[in-house]
Structure 1
Amino acid sequence: MNPERKFDLEERLVNFAADIVFFCRDMPSDMTGHYYGNQLLRSGGSSALNFGEAQGANSDKDYINKVSITLKELKESRVNLKILDRVNYGDSSMRNKLLNEVEQLVRIIATIIKNKKQGQDTL
């Protein structure tokens, strides 16, 4: 994998996490906003942090494990955003932007995991 490509993906994940912060910061301060906002902050931020940790993995197995956690957190963020979309909660244009980005990130990370696992099979 091209090192520049990893950096671009890391930047996308960092930008996604930052956009989550801005989205959550502007959510209403009611029970729904606190519950889903706190959960979304954790999963959105964790996806970037775990991908960063994967960059220092000691083995392919360790890398796959850490990137799989990134995927898990992105999927959690996606479901959270879908719930918020269903109830039309928070800024709709930002929510739609986040939903689009999380869909793309899920596909990218899933492909990375698949390709890395296939590479292990040939070793």
Structure 2
Amino acid sequence: MKSEKLKVKSNPINERSVQYALAIIRLYQELSKKTILAQILGKQLLRSGTSIGANVHEAQGAQSKADFISKISIAHKEALETAYWLRLIEETKIVHSDETKYLKDENHQLVRILSSILITSKESIKVKLKNKLNEA
């Protein structure tokens, strides 16, 4: 019996969220070698930063449009939380701002993309509902 690979729909947000998670993991590995404070902040960053992609990928298997919106909404909230932890890590000077620049910039882009997906998805539900009401 051949093993089947899990097929996740290929799109830019899927790949970007994976690459972002990998960059978060690399920073976490660096932070885990530093002070207790760096380790604690690093763990928080690791949880929220990798959760973005997990929820984006989970949204691909959503059972409904509402489920999809819920998963993307969680990814969006995790991205906002990640921005918070990055700010604390930078402002406490645990790492130099050059080391967080890519993560902050990419996080900003992910927040914008996820916001756009949410707006579009919610709008499509409204249009479908309006069409159903007009048909009745």
CA positional deviation for 1:91: 4.3
**Aligned ranges 1:1-123 → 2 under 5 Å:** 7-27=11-31, 28-123=33-128
CA positional deviation for 1:6: 5.3
CA deviations 1:19-40 (Å, max 9, x no partner) are 0010111124211111110011
2:38 touches 2:89 (CA, 8 Å); kept in 1? no
Q: Which has the higher contact order (CA 8 A, sep 6+)?
A: 1
1:48 touches 1:70 (CA, 8 Å); kept in 2? yes
Partners of 2:72 and 2:89 in 1: CA distance: 26
Structure (1 or 2) with the larger CA radius of gyration: 2
1:20 touches 1:98 (CA, 8 Å); kept in 2? yes
- Which sections of structure 2, spanning at least 5 residues, go unmatched? 1-8, 129-136
Q: Does the residue aligned with 2:11 lie in a helix, a strand or coil?
A: helix
Percent sequence identity over aligned pairs: 33
Q: Does the residue aligned with 2:62 lie in a helix, a strand or coil?
A: coil
Partners of 2:10 and 2:90 in 1: CA distance: 30
Question: What TM-score comes out, normalization by structure 2 length?
Answer: 0.82
- Which sections of structure 1, spanning at least 5 residues, go unmatched? none
Aligned length: 119
CA positional deviation for 1:43: 0.6
Question: What TM-score comes out, normalization by structure 1 length?
Answer: 0.91
Partners of 2:117 and 2:10 in 1: CA distance: 10
Partners of 1:89 and 1:107 in 2: CA distance: 27
Q: Does the residue aligned with 1:26 lie in a helix, a strand or coil?
A: helix
Partners of 2:66 and 2:106 in 1: CA distance: 27
